[in-house]
Amino acid sequence: MSMGKKLQKGLAWTLGSVLPVRRNKIVFTSYYGRGYSDNPKAVADELLRRGEDLDLVWLAKDPHSAGVPDGVRAVQYDTMAAIRELSTARVWVDNCRKGARRKKAGQYYMQTWHGFALKRIERDVADKLNTPENRSYATYAQRDARQTDVIVSDSAFMTNIYQNSFWYDGPVELYGAPRNDILVHPPKDAQARVRRALHLPEGCRLLLYAPTFRADGSLDAYSLDYRAACDACGQRFGGQWIALVRLHPHVMARAKDLKFDNRTTFDATAFDDMQLLLAACDAVITDYSSLMFDFALTRRPCFQFATDIDAYKNDRNFYFPIDETPFPLAKSNAELARCIASFDEAAYQRDVAAFFERMGICVDGKASARCADWILARVRK
């Protein structure tokens, strides 16, 4: 960031400090300015359903393509206008660190975070998170933590991480993950909506391949044999299968480097609503992504395809051994085909239930409502 931009932003925050807080304004951000998505989206949707007199604002890098619904104002992220919105809001809702300069008396900040952690995060890997653009992530995160009024947790496991690894000593509420309400109570038209958006053929079952990113930005580990995986699913579960591929946002620009024939393999990287995509799919293959824990709420088959476990452990490592998840683990395409062919439905259901119980996962589909209640209690103060 240029010195001039820093001075401008500093001045905007200074001016914002004297602006009055608007009691009914809620400002949302997701993934540092991405479109209408994740936990903040689910909370905003719930507030819209309540029909309250609220000014809902979404900060997005591209307000014109953010996908916000009627009743939500899109404002460009990381601008003077965004600082004004933040300075005058009653409540901030975010799923990542904000880095906001200052929060005033009468303002509240809800942190929803963005997933169940398999790989180590925040203070547990602080030395790995520093980048040339952000030389001291710990300082940035600690400032964010000091301003946070509540962290929303989806499990006893994550509550422990928030309390011990987030430089945070405030309230953590076991509300569940708002974004996952749709997976507990999936809409009947989920698959139809995804088919229309991605122009998918009718009559095929959907296999989603969604690997997480690698620190070097490489795609080398993304070596899934789509056709073999779809054939294995067809033989084990019946029907004709097609593969959807969705890259992590950190490497989404690289999707053009992968080959899709738009007949049996389709690029779903630009599809913003990951939870709707999960609700629509019949099976999922991932590696170290937290989306597997989300998808397990559907109780549909999920598999791990991880060819670089040792290298990944050296980068981030895990909170618990990867083979202690309920998801069959394969380190090669041949092994994955065998995992699919030998998939034991009854054992899988037992393993998922036992894992949820061990981690203390909240799965009742009412997380968005609890978050909305928390926000409205602050609006009415």
Share of the chain above pLDDT 70, in %: 93
Q: Cα 229–243–365 angle (5° rounding)?
A: 105
Q: Tell whether the model's pLDDT for residue 107 goes beyond 90.
A: yes
| Residue closest to 340 by CA, chosen among 293, 288, 304 | 304
322 pLDDT band, cuts 50/70/90, is: confident
Q: Tell whether the model's pLDDT for residue 216 goes beyond 70.
A: no
Q: Note the pTM of the prediction, 2 decimals.
A: 0.92
More confident residue, 214 or 78: 78
The Cα 226–Cα 111 span in angstroms is 37
Q: Tell whether the model's pLDDT for residue 301 goes beyond 80.
A: yes
Q: Tell whether the model's pLDDT for residue 133 goes beyond 60.
A: no
The Cα 231–Cα 241 span in angstroms is 7
Share of the chain above pLDDT 90, in %: 76
**What's the confidence (pLDDT) of residue 132?**
56
Q: Tell whether the model's pLDDT for residue 67 goes beyond 60.
A: yes
Q: Tell whether the model's pLDDT for residue 252 goes beyond 70.
A: no
More confident residue, 141 or 314: 141
CA distance readout (Å), 308 to 128, 148, 315: 18, 36, 11
The Cα 47–Cα 91 span in angstroms is 13
Q: What is the mean pLDDT of residues 102-119?
A: 94
**What's the confidence (pLDDT) of residue 288?**
85
